Amino acid sequence: MTNSLRVRLLWWLLVPLAIYVFVTGQAAYDNARHTADLVQDNTLIASARMIAGEVEWSDGRLLVDIPPAALEVFASPQGDQVFYNVSVDDGRLLAGVPDFPTRDANGHDSPNYYDAQLNGKPIRAVGFVRQMYDNGAIRRVLVSVGKTEASRDAMLRELWRPQLVRQIEMVLLAVALACIGLTFELRPLLKVKKEVMDRDPMQLEPLRVERLHTELRPIVEAINQCIARLGLQVAAQRRFIADAAHQLRTPLTLLETQLQFARQHRAMEPSLNEALAAMQRSNRSMVGLTNKLLLLAQAEAADYAQLARQKVDLAAIAQDVIEDLAMFAQKREIDLGAELVESTWIIGHEGLLSALVYNVTENAIRYTQAGGHVTVAVMRDAQRVKLAVTDDGPGIPAEARSHVFEPFYRASADTEGTGLGLSIAKEIVQAHRGEIGLAQREHPDRGVIVTASFAALS
């Protein structure tokens, strides 16, 4: 059988209903047949009694005059054929068809009903005896009346069919209502499904249980327990990365100081000095990596609900970052410009948002050739505050564009970097329930536009 819950429940409803309809239909048929037989037998005996009432002595002979009413009682649209036979116990036929299959009730006077055949047709008949007295002579006159059964069959159909039709209609109505009911009642389940499907991979709050059926609750509670365990696991992992980065930072900083000290030592051989300089460079990149890992862990752990619910001005943050990066831009001979509007308030974490603008702007400066232009713009409309960092550098190759937000992905191997900058940016934007996007500027304005937008505070 199919696995659909709806179909299975319908089967459970339909099979008992079908049995019920069958049993009650059978009973209704028996009742209807009984009624139709009774009506037919009553008409037959009424007709027979009328005919018997007309049998009389006349000059010592028995005569009968068949009253028209005795046959009119059988009038019906079905046009049944009616036969009769009036005969005396000495074998004389007073009226009717001679070959009528008469049947005497073996001396009893009570009406005798029976089924028989006449001219090859099935008929229902009654035999009724009237005793006629005359001068001590007793004659038994047997009046037999029979009819074909078309009107009785029609009556049976009329009595029985409407009931059956009504019951089938009720079953169909029940099925339709059950279908509607099931669709309605299955909705919460589908809602749970949608809620689970629509989730972000890192959305770890429990599913809501309040408005669920009692039967569904254990399932959703089990899913919630699973989510909770997953949440603990994720939190433990993030803590591990953050702790590891923290732990790494101290010895690396120490090493940096020691290297500086060693290099400042005057009596040093040039080759040793070179080696120390190389060690210092790799140490610096390790410090950079550790700081970025720490920031990524921090951004990943940041939850909108738990963000320090601060009102911050994105344009002001951008302004600070531009000032921080001015030297770097100058060194790389990049024209760093700003297009900032006023009152660009959003809810957010100042440190994280500052890291976002920094990472994106630093990319633009770093990957654009000398003489290029980088513009940091912060705009707002009624609903959104938008950051757009535009450069006229080489751009990002099409095949790399979908990957640049992944951790450790780097499109250009010839420059230094960890590949974490844009994934940190993405995590920060997501923690603020914003949207981040990347657009490639087409010829003749080459370069990249990175945008991030957030809900504006009025």
Ligand X SMILES: Nc1ncnc2c1ncn2[C@@H]1O[C@H](COP(=O)(O)OP(=O)(O)OP(=O)(O)O)[C@@H](O)[C@H]1O
Binding site residues, Mg ion, CB under 5 A: 363, 421
Is residue 84 close enough to count as binding ligand X by CB under 6 A? no
| Closest alpha carbon to 96 in 61, 129, 48, 140 | 48
Is residue 47 close enough to count as binding ligand X by CB under 6 A? no
Question: In the complex with Mg ion, which residue's Cβ is closer, 112 or 418?
Answer: 418
Return the beta strands (E) in 256-363 as ranges.
310-313, 335-340, 345-348
Q: From the CB of 298, what's the least distance to ligand X, in Å?
A: 15
17-to-171, 362, 414 alpha-carbon distances in Å:
7, 74, 77
- CA–CA separation, 101 vs 118, rounded Å? 7
170 in Cβ contact with 97 (< 8 Å): no
Place of tokens 């009506």: 39
Is residue 419 close enough to count as binding ligand X by CB under 6 A? yes
Contacted by 127, from ligand X, Mg ion, none: CB < 5 to 8 Å by type: none
Is residue 452 close enough to count as binding ligand X by CB under 6 A? no
Is residue 412 close enough to count as binding ligand X by CB under 6 A? yes
| Closest alpha carbon to 433 in 330, 366, 352 | 352
Is residue 417 close enough to count as binding ligand X by CB under 6 A? yes
Contacted by 440, from ligand X, Mg ion, none: CB < 5 to 8 Å by type: none
Per CB under 6 A, contacts with ligand X among 357-376 are: 359, 363-364, 367
Sequence-separated (6 or more) residues with CB below 8 Å from residue 350: 310, 312, 317
Q: From the CB of 421, what's the least distance to Mg ion, in Å?
A: 3
Q: From the CB of 302, what's the least distance to Mg ion, in Å?
A: 20
Measured from each CB, the residue nearest to ligand X is 421
380 in Cβ contact with 342 (< 8 Å): no
104 in Cβ contact with 129 (< 8 Å): yes
Helix (H) or strand (E) holding 218: helix 217-264
Contacted by 448, from ligand X, Mg ion, none: CB < 5 to 8 Å by type: ligand X
Among 124, 147, 292, 386, interactor with ligand X by CB under 6 A: 292
Strands 373-380 and 335-340: parallel
Is residue 377 close enough to count as binding ligand X by CB under 6 A? no
Question: In the complex with Mg ion, which residue's Cβ is closer, 393 or 421?
Answer: 421
| Closest alpha carbon to 393 in 411, 380, 374 | 374
Question: In the complex with ligand X, which residue's Cβ is closer, 359 or 451?
Answer: 359
Q: From the CB of 341, what's the least distance to ligand X, in Å?
A: 23
Is residue 391 close enough to count as binding ligand X by CB under 6 A? yes
Q: From the CB of 348, what's the least distance to ligand X, in Å?
A: 20
- CA–CA separation, 417 vs 406, rounded Å? 14
Question: In the complex with ligand X, which residue's Cβ is closer, 318 or 404?
Answer: 404
Is residue 432 close enough to count as binding ligand X by CB under 6 A? no
- CA–CA separation, 147 vs 32, rounded Å? 19
Residues near ligand X, by CB under 6 A: 292, 359, 363-364, 367, 391, 393-396, 404, 409-412, 417-423, 448
